[in-house]
Homo-oligomer: A and B are copies of this chain.
Amino acid sequence: MGFCVGYAKANVVILPKSLSDDFLLFCTRNPKACPLLEVGDVGFPHLSKIAPDADIRTDLPKYRVFRSGFEPTVVTDIESFWRDDLVTFALGCSDIFDQKLIEYGITVQYLEHNKIVPMYETSIPCQPSGVFKGPLVVSMRPIKGSDISRAVLLSARFPVAHGTPVHIGDPSAIGIEKLERVDYGDPPEMEPGDVPVFWACAVTPQAVALRSNPELMITHMPGHMLITDVPIQALSTL
């Protein structure tokens, strides 16, 4: 989690060309969950702009493979799954503003505890596109009431890292029953005065894959992103 401070991490989604056009539209319809950092060329297992030296088939720590009719599996490389018709999407990651929060004195609990950020499927539906439909996934950070304004302003500077929180406060208002019951990542430890603050999360395509049943979709394993060559500061709009 603490690797390569200063460089942006990216969430990854890989799809056959037969599905990738619909997914591209899905990203543009759900930009807070799926902010596009780069879309690769068909069959090309590299991202020329954000990680020119990386091989997308081997350079993520862990991958999840979704295949129609199979349970998702976790693998450490995808060379055996690679095909000439695959398209790679790199989506922004909340790790980008996490580093800003820390820089400005806001505690980011999951990083302090060396864990993975807690993530939840919500009752908020994504805008569908083709077969792609499902719930918005959010990541949650417990933040002190006096720090929330600053957290909102800092994350607003990074629209490619999901921008501002989609929800602040009562988890049940977005369909989350218990904060301890995470769908991805590690459970948080809420302390007195902590308010749950929710950001859209690029694990959303994985929740969508479970409903959409694509022939093949390969993603990063939640918490195990691609490390890019892009300095975080280069992604700030302000």
Contacts and interface: CB of A to CB of B under 8 A. Distances in A.
A134 interface: no
Contacts of A156: 149, 153
B152 A149 contact: yes
Nearest to A166: B146
A101 to B, nearest CB: 14
Which DSSP category, helix, strand, loop or mixed, fits chain A's interface? mixed
Nearest to A149: B164
A70 to B, nearest CB: 36
Contact of A195 (B144, B149, B169): B169
Contacts of A169: 145, 148, 168-169, 193, 195
Contacts of A153: 152-153, 156, 164
A170 interface: yes
A144 B198 CA distance: 13
A5 interface: no
A170 B153 CA distance: 20
Interface in A156-202: 156, 164-170, 173-174, 192-193, 195, 198
Nearest to A124: B146
Contact of A168 (B148, B170, B174): B148
Nearest to A147: B168
Contact of A164 (B150, B168, B173): B150
A173 B193 CA distance: 6
Contacts of A167: 145-146
A170 B148 contact: no
Nearest to A173: B193
Given A152-B153, A153-B153, A145 B173 contact: yes
A170 B170 CA distance: 11
